[in-house]
Structure 1
Amino acid sequence: MVASQVRQFDLIAFDWDGTLFDSTAIITRSIQEAVRDVGGTVPSDAAASYVIGMDLTAALAHAAPDVPASRHAALGARFSHHYMAHQHDISLFAGVLPMLAALKDRQHCLAVATGKSRRGLNETLQAVELHGVFDGSRTADETQGKPHPRMLHELMREFGVAPERT
């Protein structure tokens, strides 16, 4: 193998929203609309987008600190309502498909570690025809959400890959 073809990493784990999937604006707007719906102080674009990738409950609590815990379920439901209404407007970033194909051709193990739910990730993978491209994934409803590293630790353990090769 030529030195330039030696892999530095065996496992490459991607976040989904805002990394592979161009969803930042819609998530931000959905958070803001949900907070408005339940009567909280609407966060700025920066505050709403800061929480992307986190577990939904933690993200919404952080983005809307004045919404009481007793309203978090309603806040989550309103976020889902707004996000689902716009999800058909979201697509992969340009260049993602050829990049993933090139990584697979070089025998990298590919994974997703996301704050999305399992259902949400599966539906999205199906919609963009990427089911089967990733060797594994972890979602926030299956394990401890980001920023905790547990998702990555579980993926490394699943594929037998050391941290320095991930």
Structure 2
Amino acid sequence: GLREWFEATRCADEGFAKPHPDMLLMLMDITGVEPRHALMVGDTTHDLELAANAGVDAVAVSYGAHDEELLATRPAKARMSSVAELHRWLATNG
């Protein structure tokens, strides 16, 4: 599995569902990361709203659940259409 790659995880079954900020706030608390040092990578408008509600920057990725047109209705620091593009952006801006 992928568990070894994550210090902590949360899902809607463990608290309030997106876009409520608790899920992201709990993860930042567990990991000791402040909102200004966090980045939410999201493929839905709910993800982008969650980030905004938690005071965290977000990157929208259109290769998941929601398409680029729908994601454009929410604020994001950047918008990506592929994993390779996200990787390049993170290498430059991360």
Answer yes or no: same fold by TM over 0.5.
Answer: no
The structure richer in helix per residue is: 1
Normalising by structure 1, report the TM-score.
0.28
The structure richer in strand per residue is: 2
Higher relative contact order (CA 8 A, sep 6+): 1
Normalising by structure 2, report the TM-score.
0.44
Greater gyration radius: 1
